[in-house]
Structure 1
Amino acid sequence: MDVDDDDTEGQSPGRSSASQVGSCIQLLLEYGASPNLVDQCEFTPLHHVLKNRKIEAGTKLELIRLFLKQPQLDIDSYRNGQVRQMLREAGAEIDGERLLRTLRDGDENQFEQQFAEYHQNVSGNADNQCNANQEEYQSLLAESIKRGKQRAFEAILETGININPSKLSDISPVELAVIWGNHRALEKLLKHPQLRLTSHSKLLNAVISRLGEQPLDDFCDHQRCFQLLLESDRVDINEADKAGLVPLSYAVKYRNTKVARDFLRQGAYIGARSAFGDLPIQKMDPKVLEEHFDSCITTNGEKPGDQSFEIIINYKNLMRRQREPGRSDKRSIGHPHQLEDEMTPIAYIADSKELRYLLQHPLIPSFLFLKWHRLSVIFYLNFLLYSLFTASIITHTLLKFHESDHTGLTALFGLFSWIGIVYLMIREVVQLAMSPLLYFRSITNLMEVALIVLSILTCMEASYDKETQRILAVFTILLVSVEFCLLVGSLPVLSISTHMLMLRAVSSSFIKSFALYSIFVLTFSLCFYILFGKPQVDSSSPKNSTPEPAKEGEDESHFNTFSVPIEALIKTIVMLTGEFDAGDIKFDSVYTYLIFLLFVFFMTIVLFNLLNGLAVSDTQAIKAQAELNGAIVRTNLLTRYEQVLTGRDGHAQTSSSQLNKGSRFARERP
């Protein structure tokens, strides 16, 4: 009964073979062959005809009619009347359910015939085609993708079906092709002119998690799907899911180094933060990132000695541009001059001990140089104005409190000081407006607010007492000097930045160490207060008499006698540096000598030299990595400027043209 049209070329041989089989069946029936004979499985000849998928629909219908003409045909006695049910299905009207069953049975030849007839019947009603039949077609398209039936898929696709989901919750055919690994269907869909990928289409994220899985069928190839998505200009390589994770993050998460390299080669942004603040490079092997940075530096192919020799540096992984998903890069860049988070990946590299050495890679210093070249005007302008303010307010304070006779000069510097205060206020208001969330997280910003308040109180004509004015003036000068020192330390001069780092490192190390050892300082100050701070009693006076107060001309220092607890603590801290003034200490017993010697040994000799040793160690480490530390200082400065310029949305307001123009450097031999 089996007739296989696929083994012949063209349609004529298949039809001839089916016609011969039909003639044989007709002759057998005419000569008395029973149509009800069954085999071991209780299949009748008509049952075999009905379940044979290789017979064409027209030939199968002729054979069915031939059997139905036999009056003795029994279609109910065998296999629980299955033949009657199959006859109903064979003669039923073609609808979506029947097409779906045919597709699930895997008979693409029969499906193509039934689908062509079904599409021809429904194409006459345009409204029906656009409304009710769209859902049926989409179900058939999804089933053809799941089962890898490419011919059925192409037949459905040629009807002009809408391949984009009508609801956000629906899975689009292109997403379904990625999930099932149907690379042939995916290739067709990516080339379809009506394809529109939304921000919810996380195609790359979906395929990365399935790269290591075993294929479910022959048509399943997730690796090929990944390559198609990577090469397509419709797919955004920086697409993020609900957790903010980009495809590069998934590649690092699944430790797929090859996929991570492919993403970096395609220009994946390495500074995309997730909802938890993590970056894609946070768990990446530093060697992988270093090798990719090496590949970003190329030449134009000329010899190094030629005048036209150039070194080309590509910063594609350090910058990200917003674009509409589903469109190519040539048409879909929504804001060609809008950058975001240029310094985020470099700032993380500077903070990471494992990646910090990459700051010395030529790719990053050149990027920092271009970034500094773009922002240096703002920095130097701020440096100049603040320097004038520093000189003005210090000079005005000195002239004011020393009651100088040059009243005009005092008023002039007072005017300059008020101009500087107005500038500081405008600067802080701009920073607060641009990035309100980040403003109050910075200690420097809080210090600048305090500086503005103290400067106003110092310059204004106050009604409070002179001593309070002097105290406010002292703190104003201290804050002005600290701010100016920090500003000078930000200058792009290697020696200056190195010394500023030394100051910060030594200060931080001393504070951390002294916070621990302060327990001993407090202990010894209490011991000194108890031993040496007792009141002096004259031996010639009666025992019950109270000690006489010090005479008016007697030079007796409370600071050296530990008679006040707070002064005893300050005196102990001073003694820690070696300033003992032992001649003013009254040793009246062997225990006082013992406590004093213990303090000299453990605190002055051991602890003080330990702190000095830590300071020397920190300075030597900073000097040994002066170039790296200079890059860290510049990175921190540029990061702070970018946080102000990007504002709360994180989008830079400056143009990227200078970076694009500066990505090519020429190098000539002398």
Structure 2
Amino acid sequence: MAMTSINIPSFFESPQNALLDAFNRRDLKTFKLALERLKADPNGIIDERLGVSIFKNILSEPNSEEYIKLCIEHGADLYETNKIDLRPPIFYAIDSFSPGNLEIFLKKFDRSEINAKYGDNNCLHLLVQSLKNDNFQQLSECIKILLLHGIDINSPDENSKTPFYYLLKQQSKIPKVSELIEFIVENHAVDLYTYRSEEMKKMFVTQNPHLDVPEKIEANLTLDFMLNLLNKENEGKFVKIFKDFKLKNSKNSNFDENCLKLVHEAVKIGSDEAIKVMQNEGIDCNKKLNEYVNTPQQLAASYGYYKILKLLINSNNVEPNLLHKILHASYQNSPSYSNKVDHQKCFEFALCYCDVNGQDDQGCTPLHYAARHRNHEAVVELLKRNSFIGAKNMFNETPIEDMKLETLEEALNERITLIQIPKEKDQKELKISIDLNFLIPPKEQDESESLEEISKNPELCPLISHPVIATFIFLKWKNLSPIFYTNFIMFSILMWSFIRYIIMCHSMEENERNESGWFWFFKLTSFLGIFALTLRETFQFVVSIYSGINYFRSPINIFEVFFIILALLSQILEHSIDEDHLRVLRAFTILCAAFEFLHLFGELPFLSISCNMVILQKVACTFLKSLLLYSILLISFALSFFILFGGDKTENEDEFTSFAYPGIAIIKTFVMLTGEFDAASLNLHSKSIYYCIMFMLFIFLVTIVIFNLLSAFAVDDTQKIKEKGELVDLCARIDVLRKYEKMIMGGLKSMSSVCKWLEEMVTIFPHSIADGIVYVQPNKGYLLTSITSYDSNSETTLEIDEEENEFGCLNGKIKIPKKSKCCIICNKLDVKIGKKLRNIIEERKEKQNKEMKDGKIFDEIRDLRNEIKELKNFLKVE
């Protein structure tokens, strides 16, 4: 197997040196290795004095096609000019006089850049002037390649001499030029009339009598001719003659239609100059012909031509779903080498005019696609522009499902800014503004839906504790708390009264009950409680029908219906069933009432009660799941004990102790799982050794192993939940908010004239916060204020901290209504949330300070490098 020759010293020196060394030795394998493994940069400068990069050096060397191709594949810049003499890369390919170099370079080259000039000459000028007998074959091939790629044969230099003029000059010296002239005249539009017309016509006629003199271009100003110019990307000539085209054809009936075809073609090739000249001549470039699928705006957005989009779009003429189009195109198209293409710039410009909450045919907003395509910058910008984060499409999907934690966290941080309000005597009052506009839902959605989506998303759930979302939860809870505590106190009293009533029914004789005032009080209160609970569940059931939600999907709803049935039966059947069944019924009713009270109590937002309730539910579920598996072993032991001890019952022994029946044996075994053996009743001393072995196996496998394993599961679950205590509490609070909001807002939709005042209790937009922004005053105990109403015709200016100006505000200032009514929406923000707000602002300042310091260091390094260069140059002169 052949080994690749590697220059070891150059590899250790730098990847760029290794790359250059491999090229100089024409070692393609090593060259490729340096690009792929060493990550060598083909744009690296090899000569600071001349400003020549490795890629430009390779372009200028003939027969370097494979090396050029590899460089382009690994990020070589096709357009960056030389920093010293401003020479474009294409001119280095021309210097090689190699058709292969030029052809491979132009494969990825933007054709609109083909007419780039260096020293007022285009590439054809240099090639034609370099023609000689010995290099004619190579240079003529290069000329034909350039012509096929749309270079302008009629482009003048500073002396008004075109490449064709120089070609005619060369014809007398090089006979083979006649063949090239014949090829050009037959295949390209030659202009003999615009520049040095008399001289050019004389040379052409004298030297080429067998050829017809080309006609004036003005004679060919037809639609086909203009389209041909655009197809060949000869926008310079198109711009020059479009006015003449308009004068000649404006009276034609199909002139407007023809112009729209030109607009469409100009957009396709990315000719912003052609669009500009047509707009200047009064052509409406935003119309669409029926034969085209896309409008010019949509076409420009798809290709990423941001300059054209900027010309076409305005506040009065914006295509719907333009942002959707741009996001799709940026995801589907591979990165372009053209400096005319930039989908991100298209997106940023379209944001200024498009509706960020606009929906397409599937009900998707731009945020849906930005999140789905993992476009970090687009998601942050859309949320900054108040795109609703919980928007639902026709499949009930929200952007939240596809968002990354880092993206959403950055977007949330952008909602926080520090504001300085001027006061008397050069003093300033500090406020932290929290923009909640991205959480304002449309009318058909509830405010807490987006919170529920985030809390249910495993990846995004930690962001529930972010100060922006935590503030939103805090505000909604403050609004809802009167309803919640009223419901809690009322039903707590009713449940306690109901339990007390059942106990009195069981413990008192009927005569005593009839004479007891407390009995009748608790009986009346119990009936009121059952009636209120029945009314509440009926209301929820009706609301669920109107909302399209299955009422019985919730286990709590099923349990409450079961409790109501038991409570009613315990009253109705009091004199109809025997005492034993009545006791069972009352016992289960008390248990259900206790569970209902526990459920209500577990929703309290303090003392980590909700966290403890989650622990209880989680541990119970874990035990049940585990016992489903281990019950196989437990039931096997139970049946074994029934076989071994079932027939040994003595006169003084009860059935439970002696495993008398299989069912009792199973219950007894489950009790023994907890360590309650009552081993003395088994009389193991009088049994054989095998009985003892069976019992010891049970102790080891069940009592020691399984019981401790279940305990370990419980400890593990508890520890995990405790570690996320704050998140668990917030998620539980969101569940409560969502439950009440569904019930109340659903009731408003089904009975719009009833309980309308409750809407203000469960919503904060726009009743509590008119403009979607709340202000926190950190120096006043985190006092919370918001604008509840304002006069839009009167504004004042607030100054933003210069280091905090990242909201796109001009000159570090924002405007707010001057005659606004500010309301203290609650006493003060939770201290924990306030501290998190300050931490985010401080971290942002530290990051900005670090960036400034790094920038200064880089500037100093650059200055030192320049000084060293100057010193070296001075020493060389000396």
Q: Report TM bin, short chain.
A: 0.7 to 0.9
Correspondent of 2:478 among 373, 377, 394: 373
Displacement of 1:241 after TM fit?
5.5
- Whether contact under 8 Å (1:252, 1:284) holds in the other structure is yes
Matched residue, 1:311: 432
Q: Mark the CA change 1:208 to 1:451 in structure 2 (over 3 Å): closer, same or farther.
A: farther
Per mean C-alpha deviation after superposition, the further-off stretch among 660-669 and 48-57 is 48-57
User: Which deviates more from structure 2 when the two are superposed, residues 501-510 or residues 428-437?
Assistant: 428-437
Which amino acid in the other structure matches residue 577 of structure 1?
Answer: T
Q: Identity percentage over the alignment?
A: 29
Q: Tell me the CA shift for residue 574 of structure 1.
A: 1.0
1:327 maps to what in 2?
A: none
Counterpart code for 1:634: R
Cα deviation digits, residues 2-44 of structure 1 (max 9, x gap): 9969779xxxx99xx99xx9xxxxxxxxxxxxxxxx9536849
Distance 1:378 1:410 in 2: 24
Within 2, Cα distance between the matches of 1:635 and 1:526? 48
User: Is 1:362 the counterpart of 2:467 in the alignment?
Assistant: yes
d(CA) in 2 for partners of 1:166 and 1:480? 71
| Cross-structure match for 1:229 | 350
Matched ranges for 1:28-107 at <5 A: 39-40=178-179, 43=182, 51-52=189-190, 55=193, 96-97=223-224, 99-105=226-232, 106=234, 107=237
CA, structure 1 residues 50+504, in 2 after alignment: closer, same or farther (shift >3 Å)?
closer
Q: 1:140 aligns with which of 262, 267, 270?
A: 262
Inter-CA distance 210–502: structure 2 relative to 1 (3 Å threshold): closer
Contact 2:452/2:735 (CA < 8 Å) preserved in 1?
Answer: yes
Residue 377 of structure 1, CA deviation: 3.1
Where in structure 1 are there 5+ consecutive unaligned residues? 22-37, 68-72, 123-127, 323-337, 537-549
Q: CA 1:315–1:55 in structure 2 vs 1: closer, same or farther (change >3 Å)?
A: farther
User: RMSD over aligned Cα, in angstroms?
Assistant: 4.6
Give distance in 1, aligned partners of 2:638 and 2:291. 72
Matched with 1:507 is 620
Q: 1:297-446 to 2 correspondence within 5 Å?
A: 297-301=416-420, 308-317=429-438, 319-321=439-441, 338=443, 340=445, 342-352=447-457, 354-400=459-505, 404-405=510-511, 406-407=513-514, 408-409=520-521, 412-413=524-525, 415-437=527-549, 439-446=551-558
Q: What is the aligned residue count? A: 580
Q: 2:717 aligns with which of 600, 607, 618?
A: 618
> Is 1:663 paired with 2:774?
yes
Is 1:182 the counterpart of 2:305? The answer is: yes
1:574 is aligned to 671
Q: Aligned partners of 1:618 and 1:312: how far apart in 2? A: 38
Distance in 2, matches of 1:488 and 1:663, equals 31
Determine whether 1:529 maps to 2:652. no
Q: Deviations over 1:586-635 (max 9, x none)?
A: 54332222212221232223322332333334334444443333223213
The offset of 1:288, in angstroms, is 4.4
| 88 and 350 in structure 1: CA distance in 2 versus 1, 3 angstrom threshold | same
Structure 1, 138-147 or 292-301: larger mean CA deviation: 292-301
Alignment of 1:545-624 (within 5 A): 555-587=652-684, 588-624=687-723
Q: Which amino acid aligns with 1:562?
A: F
- Residue of structure 2 in register with 1:203 after alignment: 325
CA distance in 2 between counterparts of 1:218 and 1:53 reads: 30
Any conservation in 1 of the 2:326–2:346 contact (CA below 8 Å)?
no
- Name the SS for the 1:161 alignment partner: coil
Structure 2 equivalent of residue 545 of structure 1: none
Say if 2:306 and 2:343, in contact at 8 Å, map to a contact too. Answer: yes
- 2:412 matched to which residue of 1? 293
* 479-488 vs 377-386, which moves further: 377-386
- Note if contact 2:404-2:460 (Cα within 8 Å) is conserved in structure 1: no
Residue pair 2:603, 2:733 contacting (<8 A) in 1 also: yes
Q: SS of 1:209's equivalent?
A: helix
Residue identity matched to 2:431? E
Distance 2:707 2:330 in 1: 58
More deviation, 264-273/499-508: 264-273
> In 2, Cα distance between the equivalents of 1:51 and 1:222?
35
CA spacing shift, 1:415–1:307, aligned 2, 3 Å: farther
Once the 2 structures are TM-superposed, how far is the Cα of residue 501 of structure 1 from its aligned partner?
2.5
| Larger RCO, structures 1/2 (Cα 8 Å, 6+ apart) | 1
In the TM superposition, residue 578 of structure 1 has moved relative to its aligned partner by: 2.0
Distance in 2 (CA, whole Å) between partners of 1:200 and 1:167 is: 19
Structure 2 CA distance for aligned equivalents of residues 164 and 586 of structure 1: 100
Post-superposition shift, 1:114?
5.0
Gaps of 5+ in 2: 1-151, 166-176, 515-519, 751-758, 782-878
Q: Which secondary structure state, in structure 2, belongs to the residue aligned with residue 290 of structure 1?
A: helix
Residue 851 of structure 2 is matched in structure 1 by none
Contact 1:239 1:246 (8 Å CA) reproduced: yes
Correspondence for 2:50: none
CA distance in 2, matches of 1:374, 1:602: 54
Superposed displacement of residue 572, structure 1: 0.6
The answer to whether the Cα contact below 8 Å between 1:494 and 1:630 also exists between their aligned partners in 2 is no
Looking at structure 2, the residues matched to 648 and 197 of structure 1 have their Cα atoms a distance apart, in angstroms, of: 38
Which one has a larger percent strand, Structure 1 or Structure 2?
2
Residue number among 562, 573, 580 corresponding to 1:450 in the alignment? 562
Code of the aligned partner of 1:179: S
SS at match of 1:497: helix
| TM-score, with structure 1 as normaliser | 0.72
- Give the Å deviation of 1:647: 5.2
Aligned amino acid, residue 483 of structure 1 = E
CA distance in 2, matches of 1:446, 1:419: 17
Contact 1:207–1:226 (8 Å) recurs in 2: no
Q: Partner amino acid for 1:153?
A: I
Mapped to 1, the partners of 2:719 and 2:178 lie a distance apart of 96
Deviations 1:173-196 (A, max 9, x none): 111011122222201222263x14
1:91-115 CA deviation, whole Å, 9 max, x = no partner? 68x7655543444343314651354
C-alpha distance in 2 between matches for 1:626 and 1:255: 31
| Rounded Cα–Cα distance in structure 2 between residues aligned with 1:169 and 1:461 | 78
How far apart, in 2, do the equivalents of 1:161 and 1:152 lie?
13
Asked whether the equivalents of residues 414 and 459 of structure 1 are also in contact (C-alpha less than 8 Å), the reply is no
Per the alignment, in what secondary structure is the counterpart of residue 299 of structure 1?
strand
